[in-house]
């Protein structure tokens, strides 16, 4: 007769494993060999196993283990960085500071982050993040009044984002620098 599995309990058990990570409590073959070679037989108490202890270690987060050949960090002086900075500044008619600009070749994604409309106080302004694979610009404002100028700049930023995505789509297709390497 087939045993019924409570899916809720199994899911909860899997989530606990994912959250707490894998901690091996098993004695390895090498340790067993060393114990068997000692002259005095030792009584070792085997620890009780918790559900999921037989699962492998979880993989590292992809951001923590970025393959350097997969990621291109664009910085001041790079053609694409300078083009983006110049175009943003012209279209938004305000100062722009790009703080992060990365191209992920294998994932076919681009991330650009920056600050515009910086205020007089530390941390004030509009921070933005755009992703080629995203559907819109992520925006947060701090210490900036919500007025017509802000609305105008954000509307222009959305327009820039659509053009930016199209440009990167073309670059992924045509520019050899951003092609996935053949292995």
Per DSSP, the residues of 3-67 read PP--HHHHHHHHHHHHHH-----SPPHHHHHHHHHSSS----PPPPPPTTTTSPPPPPPTTTT--
Instruction: Give the global pTM.
Output: 0.59
The residues facing 100 across adjacent strands are 113
Range of the domain at 38: 1-58
Overall domain count for the chain: 2
Element (H or E) spanning 179, and its range? Answer: none
Same domain, 50 and 136: no
* Encoded tokens for 15: 């989530």
Judge whether 69 and 102 are in contact, CB under 8 Å: no
> Is 79 within a domain?
yes
- Distance between CA atoms of 125 and 140, rounded to whole angstroms? 8
Count Cβ atoms below 10 Å from residue 130 Cβ, excluding itself: 23
Per-residue pLDDT of the chain (183 residues; tens, 9 = 90+): 556 667 777 777 777 767 665 544 334 444 555 555 554 545 445 555 555 555 554 443 444 444 566 888 989 999 999 999 999 999 988 889 999 999 998 889 999 999 988 777 777 888 999 999 998 999 998 888 888 988 899 999 999 999 999 999 988 888 877 777 775
User: Quick one: 51 and 75 in the same domain?
Assistant: no
Nearest C-alpha neighbor of 171 from the set 105, 87, 100 = 105
Shared domain for 80 and 169, answered yes or no, is yes
**Does one domain contain both 52 and 79?**
no
Claim to verify: residue 86 and residue 54 sit in the same structural domain: no
Distance of CA 27 to the CA centre of its chain: 36
């Amino acid at each position: 007769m087939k045993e019924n599995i409570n899916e809720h309990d199994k899911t909860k058990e899997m989530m606990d494993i994912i959250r707490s990570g894998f901690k091996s409590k098993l004695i390895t073959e090498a340790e067993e060999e060393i114990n068997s070679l000692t002259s005095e037989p030792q009584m070792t108490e085997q620890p009780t196993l918790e559900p999921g202890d037989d699962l492998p270690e979880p993989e590292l987060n992809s951001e923590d283990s970025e393959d350097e050949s997969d990621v291109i960090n664009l910085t001041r002086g790079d053609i694409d960085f300078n083009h983006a900075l110049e175009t943003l500044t012209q279209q938004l008619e305000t100062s722009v500071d790009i703080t992060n600009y990365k191209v992920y070749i294998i994932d076919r994604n681009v991330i650009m982050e920056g600050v515009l409309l910086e205020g007089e106080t530390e941390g004030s302004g509009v921070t933005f993040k755009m992703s080629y694979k995203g559907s819109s610009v992520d925006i947060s404002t701090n210490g900036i009044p919500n007025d017509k100028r802000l609305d105008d700049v954000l509307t222009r930023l959305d327009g820039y984002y659509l053009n930016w995505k199209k440009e990167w789509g073309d670059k992924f297709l045509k520019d050899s620098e951003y092609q996935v390497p053949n292995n």
